[in-house]
């Protein structure tokens, strides 16, 4: 038994198993899930959904059917990867703002360009578009593509749909695989058809010649491509970036006020991008990047995009537009990576290889189609010739049928002239019957022929049908043997599609300079920062402060002279530093209400306490003394707090520790520092003995505390100061009477 078990074990490296398994998984995602096939431009889920609708008979001229039925049938027969992926693919195929040529006719809520999701599949209905039936699913009954077993081998599904137009360019594609991504922009239907026809006539054409027909992408949302000169390199290599810009129009308003109206958006702004754009504009106004915008409203509807920006009188239009291009998604880039599955492997291709693959596929489809049609016409010809010949000897055939005991004998006589088992009235008839040599197909047709076919008009119709069949055979043989004739047939069909379904170009192509926004220089002036006991802050003019100095000093807990271009540093007990721009604070009259500090910075008064407030410009050349509850102290240069982030660490803290003291350190050797603990321990040291550290350092121990004790206060003063400190009721300590000790000692009990 042990030997038998050992024989079933396969010894191998774990890394090899993982590598092979991951490669198999990656290839499955790449080929069978995420990337489109270059021939029909469809991902497997899209292909299966369209084919299932075709099989269910949900045609353009028939009633809509519930999407839940389509999704369920597709999942049960062809795509066992979950209903959400199938329904999402179905919804996208019906959205005219995502697809240059929608392939599904949706009925109900199929989402909006502003990012609203589609209704649940049980509420929505769908059917195929007419173009989908004519150009994507036609000829499936003519053996034009191979069929393969589905996932459980109970059904057959097409390996690729017989798409007659270059869908991969018309509708584009987006997909994320394992280690690779595809992003193909949509193009204009008519231009792409013209490009294919031109290539079929001149297969040696280059990218520049092709771009005379396919000038560039054509996005359903319109907009402007501002980098037309870069398209040649993108179409040559299949990779690059396209700069897109929304369309902005100026409308005259009342009272000399103008408004900017955005009527087209970049393709990348579809969905949540519109809401983000509105928020970005609000932010520009709130942060005072612009004062030209007084209101913004989204008036978009089914008729199209309409985002209105109301402007103040005399607004600088050009500079404002450039600001929107630079600071919002009104100008964006679309990354191009023309990656598709070709001959069973992923490949990045330029526009010429994409069209070459499509044209080769069209020739393959046409060859298989006309081979099938030719075989059917040859079969019809054989039967028609047999029936025509039978009409000439119909009396003999009737005599054979009347003299036969069964169909087998009659058929044998018709095919081989076997008369042994048949009774003839005349000997001459027997001799004539012996000469018959119909084929099996002809004999079957004769035996199944109805008597009305012997009417004179019916015989004439049969002769006409035979003539038409001969013409069809000649035509099909010419198409199959002559590539130029086949090309003319394909071109004729493409021209008909263009005439029926082509739309004018929506996206403008241009070479525009990159937007340059000139930020208005703020006039620097002296102001006074005021913060009351509730944490409301504002700034006022220096002259206003001087006139109301007494009231200001009594009503506010923090008063700092600064410049309007300065930043205020908020140091908290959690060791955080929050930056606040003075420009973000309200500026005006003395009695105007301020703004909560929490609203203009990342400071949160519910989670942390403000320990120290300072103007960044005032402490840049100074040094700050830090003290924590665990007795750690250090000196930090003020220049270390000049950071661009709104929030950063002001110091490093040990676990369960917090900052209790920060103060500017004056440059004097006579300065003293007194540390006071919760249990009444005092230690006086020379301020100069505190070492300077980086803000990321913890510092050094200032006082050695008992296990349950903590530092509560620190006092920085001149050595001659006689300040009296009261604590624990009536106890008092005179600071300059404390004996100066050494750092990292216990101090004295008071």
Q: Are 719 and 670 in contact (CB under 8 A)?
A: yes
- Asked if 123 is an active-site residue, the reply is yes
How many CB atoms neighbour CB 440 within 10 A?
A: 11
Determine the Cα–Cα distance for residues 37 and 166; give it in Å rounded to an integer. 11
Determine the Cα–Cα distance for residues 362 and 366; give it in Å rounded to an integer. 6
Share of the chain residues as helix, strand and coil, in percent rounded to the nearest 5: 40, 25, 35
Measured between alpha carbons, how far is residue 227 from residues 67, 234, 320, 504, 619 in Å?
40, 11, 21, 21, 47
Q: Does residue 577 sit in helix, strand or coil?
A: strand
Catalytic residue among 22, 25, 60, 123: 123
Determine the Cα–Cα distance for residues 597 and 537; give it in Å rounded to an integer. 6
What's the N-to-C CA distance of the chain in angstroms?
86
- The DSSP secondary structure of 25-93, one letter per residue, reads HHHHHIIIIIS-BTTT---HHHHHHHHHHHHHT--TTS--EEHHHHHHHHHHHT--S-HHHHHHHHHHH
Q: Are 404 and 413 in contact (CB under 8 A)?
A: yes
Q: Are strands 681-686 and 700-701 parallel, antiparallel or unpaired?
A: unpaired
- 549 Cβ contact list (under 8 Å, min separation 6): none
**Could you say which DSSP state residue 692 is in?**
B
Q: Are 473 and 374 in contact (CB under 8 A)?
A: yes
- The DSSP secondary structure of 166-223, one letter per residue, reads -HHHHT-EEEE-SS-EEEE--B-HHHHHHHHHHHHH-TT--HHHHTTTS-SB--TT--
Residues marked active site are found at 123
């Amino acid at each position: 038994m042990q030997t038998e078990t050992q024989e079933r074990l396969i010894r191998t490296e774990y890394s090899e198993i993982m590598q092979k398994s991951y490669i198999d998984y990656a290839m499955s995602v790449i080929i069978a899930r995420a990337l489109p096939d270059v021939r029909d431009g469809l991902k497997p889920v899209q292909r299966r959904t369209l084919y299932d609708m075709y099989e269910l008979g949900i045609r353009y001229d028939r009633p809509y059917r519930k999407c839940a039925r389509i999704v369920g049938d597709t999942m049960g027969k062809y795509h066992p990867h979950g209903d959400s992926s199938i329904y999402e693919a179905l919804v996208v195929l019906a959205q005219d703002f995502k697809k240059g040529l929608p392939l599904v006719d949706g009925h109900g809520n199929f989402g909006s360009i502003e990012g609203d999701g589609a209704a649940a599949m049980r509420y929505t209905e769908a059917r195929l578009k007419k173009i989908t039936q004519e150009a994507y699913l036609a000829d499936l009954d003519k053996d034009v593509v191979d069929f393969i077993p589905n996932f459980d081998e109970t059904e057959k599904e097409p390996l690729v749909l017989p798409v007659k137009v270059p869908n991969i360019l018309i509708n584009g594609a987006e997909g994320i695989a394992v280690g690779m991504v595809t992003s193909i922009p949509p193009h204009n239907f008519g231009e792409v058809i013209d490009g294919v026809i031109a290539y079929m006539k001149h297969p040696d054409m280059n990218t520049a010649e092709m771009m005379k027909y396919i000038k560039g992408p054509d996005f359903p949302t319109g907009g402007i491509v501002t980098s037309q000169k870069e398209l040649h390199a993108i179409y040559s290599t299949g990779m690059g970036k396209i700069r897109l810009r929304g369309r902005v129009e100026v409308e005259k308003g009342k009272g000399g006020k103008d408004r900017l109206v955005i009527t087209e958006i970049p393709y990348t702004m579809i969905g949540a991008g519109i809401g983000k754009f509105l928020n970005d504009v609000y932010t520009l106004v709130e942060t005072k990047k612009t004062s030209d915008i007084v209101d913004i409203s989204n008036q978009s509807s089914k008729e199209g995009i309409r985002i209105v920006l109301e402007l103040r009188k005399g607004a600088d239009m050009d500079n404002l537009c450039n600001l929107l291009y630079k600071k919002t998604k009104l100008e964006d880039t679309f990354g191009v990576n023309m990656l598709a599955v070709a001959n069973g492997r992923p490949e990045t291709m330029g526009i010429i290889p994409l069209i070459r693959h499509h044209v080769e596929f069209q020739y393959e489809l046409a060859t298989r189609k006309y081979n099938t049609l030719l075989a059917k016409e040859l079969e019809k010809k054989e039967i028609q010739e047999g029936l025509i010949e039978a009409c000439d000897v119909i009396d003999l055939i009737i005599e054979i049928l009347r003299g036969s005991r069964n169909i087998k004998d009659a058929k044998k006589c018709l095919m081989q002239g076997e008369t042994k088992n048949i009774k003839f009235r005349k000997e001459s008839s027997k001799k004539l019957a012996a000469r018959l040599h119909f084929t099996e197909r002809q004999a079957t047709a004769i035996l199944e022929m109805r008597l009305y076919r012997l009417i004179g008009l019916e015989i004439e119709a049969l002769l006409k049908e035979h003539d038409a069949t001969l013409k069809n055979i000649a035509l099909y043989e010419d198409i199959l043997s002559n590539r130029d004739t086949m090309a003319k047939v394909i071109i004729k069909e493409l021209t008909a599609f263009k005439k029926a379904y082509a739309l004018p170009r929506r996206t403008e192509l241009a070479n525009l300079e990159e937007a340059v926004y000139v930020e208005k220089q703020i006039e620097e002036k002296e102001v006074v920062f005021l913060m009351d006991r509730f944490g409301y802050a504002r700034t006022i003019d220096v002259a206003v402060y001087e006139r109301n100095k007494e009231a200001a000093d009594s009503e506010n807990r923090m008063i700092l002279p600064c410049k309007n271009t300065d930043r205020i540093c908020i140091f908290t007990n959690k060791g955080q530093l929050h930056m606040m721009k003075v420009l973000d604070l309200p500026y005006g009259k003395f009695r105007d209400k301020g703004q909560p500090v929490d609203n203009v910075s990342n400071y949160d008064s519910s989670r942390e306490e403000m320990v120290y407030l300072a103007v960044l410009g005032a402490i840049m050349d100074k040094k700050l003394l830090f003290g924590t509850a665990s007795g750690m102290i250090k000196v930090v240069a003020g220049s270390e707090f000049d950071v661009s982030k709104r929030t950063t660490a002001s110091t490093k803290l040990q676990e369960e520790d917090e900052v209790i003291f920060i103060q500017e350190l004056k440059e004097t050797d006579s300065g003293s520092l007194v540390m006071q603990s919760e249990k009444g321990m005092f230690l006086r040291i020379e301020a100069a003995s505190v070492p300077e550290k980086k803000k990321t350092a913890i510092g050094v121990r200032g006082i050695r505390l008992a296990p349950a004790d903590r530092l509560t206060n620190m006092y920085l003063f001149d050595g001659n100061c006689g300040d009296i400190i009261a604590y624990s009721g009536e106890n008092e300590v005179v600071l300059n009477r404390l004996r100066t000790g050494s750092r990292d000692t216990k101090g004295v009990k008071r």
